[in-house]
């Protein structure tokens, strides 16, 4: 084990930076909690029968009046805060991860193709990317969401909320992937192995995905981490603005929006616990992203 750690530079750096280790532990705990929410959480916050109004507005256990059944207290409906947060994080992560995955596939595909073919195709893709880069992601996401509201018939709007939100976020994040993939592809194109593959008459798809892609993965992994954090933040912001998910299927952002109503009345936990949770999640993912950037670009150290 020790030998292995010594040989891998990334792992060695990892064992040397406590902040990154803490961030990794927090991120992993939240991921596990979110993934297994239905088994960990004591109640299902979407099932109105599983909690009771009688338990409403109980404070966390360390405060007077808190009971051990609800460690972090309850909201006004009597929902257990832990369960709400786990289910909320589940939705937030589900949307964040899928949006990131779609953005990766779309952006890397277009970026690879732009770098490989060059010429007019490259010019068109990069022009679109430039225009979109001038608009902040949140504005793009809001717009796509607004357009979806106009196009989709009202009956399916509620059911497709998660899909629309995911796509809106994905379409506002693909640009980073495309630009990075294109720039790295340009560099690879001049290397002998690519030239050799072209001369051997291999197909463009094969060259792009089998030969070039594995060699440009490093910087893309960094962007994936950073964009996961952006996607989670975007989702939280949209839901907080009331544009994202509705109150009956709350994500972390929706929970914070609901908690705002209790800011003045003293039930601090309804607002601050989900907020703390969201910030912890985003800060840990960002810390991991920074760490990965350092590992892949030793020049920045």
In the complex, the residues that contact another protein under the rule CB under 8 A are 131, 134-136, 138-139, 142-143, 145-147, 149-151, 233, 236-237, 240-243, 256, 260, 263-264, 271, 275, 278-279, 282-283, 286
Work out the angle at residue 71's Cα, subtended by the Cα atoms of residues 67 and 76, and round it to the nearest 5 degrees.
80
Give whole-number Cα distances, 47 to 43, 148, 249, 250, 298, in Å: 8, 28, 10, 12, 50
The upper half-sphere exposure of residue 176, i.e. CA atoms within 13 Å in the direction of its Cβ, equals 22
- Smallest gap from Cβ 260 to another protein, in A, equals 7
Q: Which residues of 228-259 are buried (b: 16+ CB within 10 A; e: fewer)?
A: bbbbbbbbbbbbbeebbbeeebbbbbbbbbbb
Give whole-number Cα distances, 93 to 97, 272, 276, in Å: 6, 19, 16
> How many DSSP H helices and E strands does the chain contain?
14, 0
- Smallest gap from Cβ 282 to another protein, in A, equals 6
Nearer to another protein, 172 or 185 (CB): 172
Nearer to another protein, 115 or 259 (CB): 259
Nearer to another protein, 175 or 212 (CB): 175
Nearer to another protein, 23 or 113 (CB): 23
- Smallest gap from Cβ 251 to another protein, in A, equals 13
Nearer to another protein, 41 or 245 (CB): 245
- Smallest gap from Cβ 221 to another protein, in A, equals 20
Residue in the block written with tokens 């927090």 = 26
Nearer to another protein, 54 or 300 (CB): 300
80 in helix, strand or coil?
A: strand
- Smallest gap from Cβ 149 to another protein, in A, equals 5
- Smallest gap from Cβ 1 to another protein, in A, equals 32
User: Computed over its alpha carbons, how large is the radius of gyration of the chain?
Assistant: 23
């Amino acid at each position: 084990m020790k030998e292995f750690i010594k040989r891998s530079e990334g792992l060695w750096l990892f064992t040397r930076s406590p902040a990154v280790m803490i961030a990794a532990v927090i991120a992993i705990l939240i991921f596990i909690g979110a993934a297994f929410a239905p088994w960990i959480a004591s109640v299902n916050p979407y099932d109105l029968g599983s909690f009771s109004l009688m338990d409403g507005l109980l404070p966390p256990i360390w405060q007077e009046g808190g009971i051990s059944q609800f460690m972090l207290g309850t909201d006004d409906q009597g929902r257990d805060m832990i369960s709400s947060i786990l289910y909320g994080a589940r939705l937030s992560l589900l949307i964040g991860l899928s949006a990131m995955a779609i953005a990766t596939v779309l952006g890397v595909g277009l970026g690879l193709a732009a770098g490989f073919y060059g010429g007019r195709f490259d010019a068109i893709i990069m022009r679109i990317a430039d225009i979109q880069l001038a608009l902040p992601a949140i504005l793009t996401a809001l717009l796509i969401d607004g357009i979806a509201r106009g196009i989709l018939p009202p009956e399916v709007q509620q059911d497709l909320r998660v899909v629309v939100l995911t796509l809106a976020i994905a379409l506002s994040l693909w640009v980073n992937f495309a630009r990075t993939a294109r720039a790295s592809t340009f560099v690879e194109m001049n290397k002998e192995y690519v030239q050799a593959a072209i001369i051997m008459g291999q197909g463009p798809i094969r060259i792009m995905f089998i030969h070039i892609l594995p060699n440009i993965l490093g910087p893309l992994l960094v962007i994936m981490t950073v964009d996961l954090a952006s996607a989670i933040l975007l989702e939280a912001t949209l839901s907080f603005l009331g544009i994202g998910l509705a109150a009956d299927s709350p994500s972390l952002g929706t929970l914070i929006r609901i908690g705002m109503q209790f800011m003045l009345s003293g039930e601090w936990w309804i607002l601050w616990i989900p907020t703390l949770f969201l910030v912890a999640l985003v800060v840990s993912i960002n810390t991991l992203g920074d760490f990965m950037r350092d590992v892949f670009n030793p020049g920045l150290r």
